[in-house]
Amino acid sequence: MGLNDKRKIELENKYKNMETVDLICIVSTDKKGYEPEAVAIAEAELKRRNVFEEEIAEVSDSQKKEEKAKQERIATTTFSKRTKFFFTVFPGFGIWYSVFTPKEYVQRRKDVNRCSLMALGFYLAITLICLLLGMLHIRGVAVVVSVVMLMAFIFYKLS
């Protein structure tokens, strides 16, 4: 799949107006995203500007370091307390988020899974308490509301 002559001329004109750093990215770090002919045109433009291999390697290394730092920043980004609270109150959204979020967001996935599991455990405990209270009520045993509130408070503090 080569480039036609008209497209080559367009790329040559475009690359003549581009910054040197952008051209270096085309021939080094972003090489896979371009046609081989487009990379060759960018290399020719760099040669025309007298940009040497050392400069290309230097800029390429700095671009790679920036990309690695960006990936580390993405991997360690956490949610705000408000967002964690939202995922705790609505665990279904948290499960949905953890399924569809990009894999690079490692810490966010951990946070949302933790919040969702904590919420599901809380809702399960409330359900079991309500079932227990219902069974006790059917048998005629009086249950004090403060005991229920105490149990919910203890569960909240433990989780």
pLDDT digits (tens, 9 = 90+) for 19-77: 888 888 888 777 777 888 888 888 888 888 887 777 777 777 787 888 888 888 888 88
- What's the confidence (pLDDT) of residue 3? 67
Residue-range domain boundaries for the chain: 5-76, 81-158
What is the spatial distance between Cα 11 and Cα 34, in angstroms, rounded to a whole number?
11
The position carrying tokens 């700095």 is 62
Whether 1 has a pLDDT exceeding 60, the answer reads no
> Which pLDDT band, with edges at 50, 70 and 90, does 15 fall under?
confident
Neighbours of 115 (CB within 10 A): 24
pTM for this model (two decimals): 0.50
Query: Which conformational region is residue 4 in: left (phi greater than 0), alpha (psi within -120 to 50 degrees), or beta?
Result: beta
Are the C-beta atoms of 45 and 12 separated by less than 8 Å? yes
- What's the confidence (pLDDT) of residue 147? 67
**Per-residue CA distances from 55 to 12, 85, 108 (Å):** 21, 49, 37
- What's the confidence (pLDDT) of residue 141? 61
Of the chain, the end-to-end C-alpha distance in Å amounts to 59
- What's the confidence (pLDDT) of residue 45? 86
pLDDT digits (tens, 9 = 90+) for 134-151: 777 666 665 666 666 667
* C-beta pairs of 138-146 under 8 Å, 24+ apart in sequence: none
Structure tokens that stand for 145 in this block: 């509301």
State the Cα angle at 70 between 68 and 71, rounded to 5°.
Answer: 65
> Which pLDDT band, with edges at 50, 70 and 90, does 112 fall under?
very high
State the Cα angle at 137 between 134 and 140, rounded to 5°.
Answer: 155
Phi, psi for residue 50 in degrees, rounded to 5 = 65, 40
- What's the confidence (pLDDT) of residue 28? 79
